[in-house]
Amino acid sequence: MRITDVGSFFLFMVNCILCNNFIFSRFLGCCPFLGVSSKVQTATGMGLAVTFVMGIASLVTYFVNLILVALGLEYLQTIAFILVIAALVQFVEMFMKKSMPSLYSALGIYLPLITTNCAVLAVTIMNVENSYNLFESVCNGVFGALGFMLAIVLMAGVRERLETSDIPKSFKGFPSSLITAGLLSIAFMGFQGLVK
Amino acid sequence: MNIQWIHVVYALLALGGLGAVFGLVLDIADKKFAVEVDERVTRVRAACAGANCGACGYPGCDGFAAAVVKGDAPVNGCTAGGAKTAAAIAEIMGVSAGSSEPRVARLLCQGAVGIAKERYHYDGYKSCQMASQMVGGPKMCPYSCIGLGDCMDVCKFDAIRIENGIAVFDENKCVACGMCEKTCPRHAIAVVPKDATVLVRCQNSDIGRPAVEACTHACIACKRCEKTCQYDAIHVSNGFASIDTSKCTRCGECAKVCPRGCITVIGGQVEVA
């Protein structure tokens, strides 16, 4: 899937957000998806943080990859990308601590854990494997993260209502959340084949 | 094997260079986005005992330090650190420490092997909590120390060991955090002032014969101690004697008259009458 004109740009977007949703189709980044999806507000904050990290990581790793290829060091891809992601997460953490302390404390341990969020590493490696150009890489990162945000906010909305609903005691909390995640995933299967 | 050293150098340079660049950027960002933390919080945190034991009632030492600076927690709230820590924190906060008398955890039971009668031989999972729920526990006395070491496991200061089927406390290591007191399923541990040397070491609520049958050192609520005490400091209630440490003069007269030897004087030998 390449971006050649405006039409293909929108197809690319739909593909990233709905068809190949990181959580519901690729099953990447499930830890924060389950960990921070109890409130819509924090879920949105997490989604924005991941969007920022994924977007910038796609941009920076594109250039890092150029350097690695030029030096013939493609085998260092994983460690170099993780270095980029870790540094970015550190930056986001500092920024949030300063400007959004309430969100910072709400995200807690999950903010530094974006470092090890497999979805972020996956998007950078996918960019390289599909040999996307700079624009496609950034689009893939940002739209992929928006898909993640869509998933986590949907989940948070459902969980907020589950909180107050009368469900069997043994299903309260995580069991019902996992079932919800499964049902959402099945629903998202309906988008498969929308983009060829 | 032919190592192409140039590739090693490239790899080192590439990753080292990336690391250096990111480090530099992060350093600048750190300065730019520095958050003003009350420096007293850092200093109070450093003054704490640092065991994260939770005895102060806050989630760890960081929470306690923040609460002290905010004014929510008392400066002598760190029980693990004791008087020294309280003084240090008080100095940082510019207030007086107040008195924080040294306290220590003691076992209110003497039911060692051979003293307390066994109800059955327990050979299950080593947990007092579990054993205490099995037909009244492995010892006849339902108020006794079970001696499987739940308190020992929870003690972060290595102050408790199990000897002869009961918990033994090392008063030099004990910081009176009270974790053992909370953990003991029999409530047989009490955190008491360190100078409260005269203690009733039994909480058996049974009166007379059932108590005698359970343990040779069980309080039978005979009230001899209550009659002997000149200072109105020892009273029998709920079937066992207990001492009001604020009235007790540590004379040890009660220990001398106790027919069951369940009152002990720490640091002094008292014969059972």
pLDDT, tens digit (0-9, with 9 covering 90-100), for B1-37: 677 888 888 889 888 998 999 999 999 988 888 777 7
Nearest CA in chain B to A89: B26
Contact check, Cβ <8 Å, A80/B14: yes
Among the partner-chain residues B7, B14, B30, the one whose CB lies closest to the CB of A68 is: B14
Mean pLDDT (chain B, rounded): 84
Contact check, Cβ <8 Å, A83/B22: yes
For residue B97, name the pLDDT band (cuts at 50, 70, 90).
Answer: low
Q: Which CATH code for domain B195-273?
A: 3.30.70.20
Q: Worst-scoring range by mean pLDDT, A185-194, B95-104, B149-158? A: B95-104
Residues of A in contact with B6 (CB under 8 A): none
**pLDDT value of residue B99:** 58
Q: Quick one: CA torsion of A53, A56, A61, A64, rounded to 10 degrees?
A: -130
**pLDDT value of residue B171:** 85
* Domain locations in chain B as residue ranges: 49-93, 103-191, 195-273
Residues of B in contact with A87 (CB under 8 A): 22, 25-26
**CB count in 10 Å sphere of residue A123:** 32
Please give the model's pTM, rounded to 2 decimal places: 0.54
Q: Which CATH architecture has domain B103-191?
A: 2-Layer Sandwich (3.30)
Residues (pLDDT < 70) of chain A are 108, 196
Residues of B in contact with A71 (CB under 8 A): 10-11, 14
Residues of A in contact with B33 (CB under 8 A): 94-95, 97-99
Query: How many angstroms separate the Cα of B267 from the Cα of each of B115, B196, B198, B201, B270?
Result: 21, 11, 9, 15, 10
Contact check, Cβ <8 Å, A79/B15: yes
Among the partner-chain residues A76, A94, A95, the one whose CB lies closest to the CB of B15 is: A76
pLDDT digits (tens, 9 = 90+) for B126-136: 899 989 888 88
Computed on alpha carbons and rounded to an integer, the radius of gyration of chain A in Å comes to: 17
Q: Identify whether the C-beta of residue B109 lies closer than 8 Å to the C-beta of residue B161.
A: no
User: Which ipTM was obtained for this model?
Assistant: 0.73
Contact check, Cβ <8 Å, A95/B14: no
For residue B272, name the pLDDT band (cuts at 50, 70, 90).
Answer: very low
Residues of A in contact with B22 (CB under 8 A): 83-84, 87
The closest of B204, B230, B234 to B217, measured between CA atoms, is: B204
Contact check, Cβ <8 Å, A71/B22: no
- Report residue A69: phi and psi, to 5°: -65, -40
Q: Quick one: CA torsion of B233, B237, B239, B245, rounded to 10 degrees?
A: -30
Fold identical between B103-191 and B195-273?
yes
Nearest CA in chain B to A86: B22
